Structure 1
Amino acid sequence: MSDTAILEIVELADGEVVLRPSESDGEPLVSIRFSEEALDLLRQSRFEVARQMIDHAITRTRLWDGEEEETPEAPETVH
């Protein structure tokens, strides 16, 4: 048996897109919630945009390796 977790990206009933372990109902690892204005602009592609955001976070950082990324602190809110 492997120690590798299986993760899933799911769109919840309220429109929030989350990354969570596939066999867990607990707190999601990542959640993305778009504003109403963004939802209007994205329309049917909102899930794909959220998936790309999550994919970028996983592949471009070392967060999932247990190592901290050596980058300057970024603002908490990106506009």
Structure 2
Amino acid sequence: MSETAVLEIVELADGEVVLRSAEGEGEPLVSIRFSAEAADLLRRARFEVAQEMIDHALSRSHLVEGDEEEAQADPATLH
């Protein structure tokens, strides 16, 4: 049986969005901080945008089980 990490995405009081252990211990695994201009443009959608960014990164890195076939079929595109 494998160990499973329980992670959470939260927005901190300063507006930074982090991926961290659900226990809240240690440094965040990922942090996203939007510039003042981007935060103003996104307003309340800021958390949802950060959440999608983290979700995409996790699925592309094969950390989420079951996404291997989908990730191989969809090559990365940089613009």
TM-score, with normalisation over the residues of structure 2? 0.74
User: What is the root-mean-square deviation in Å for CA atoms of aligned residues?
Assistant: 1.7
Structure 1 consecutive aligned stretches of length 4 or more whose deviation exceeds 2 Å: none
1:34 corresponding residue in structure 2: 34
Residue 31 of structure 1: how far off its partner (Å): 0.2
Question: Which structure 2 segments of 5+ residues have no match?
Answer: 65-79
TM-score, with normalisation over the residues of structure 1? 0.74
Question: Which structure 1 segments of 5+ residues have no match?
Answer: 66-79
Residue 3 of structure 1: how far off its partner (Å): 1.0
Aligned residues: 64
SS of the residue corresponding to residue 47 of structure 1 reads helix
SS of the residue corresponding to residue 37 of structure 1 reads helix
Task: Name the % identity.
Answer: 72
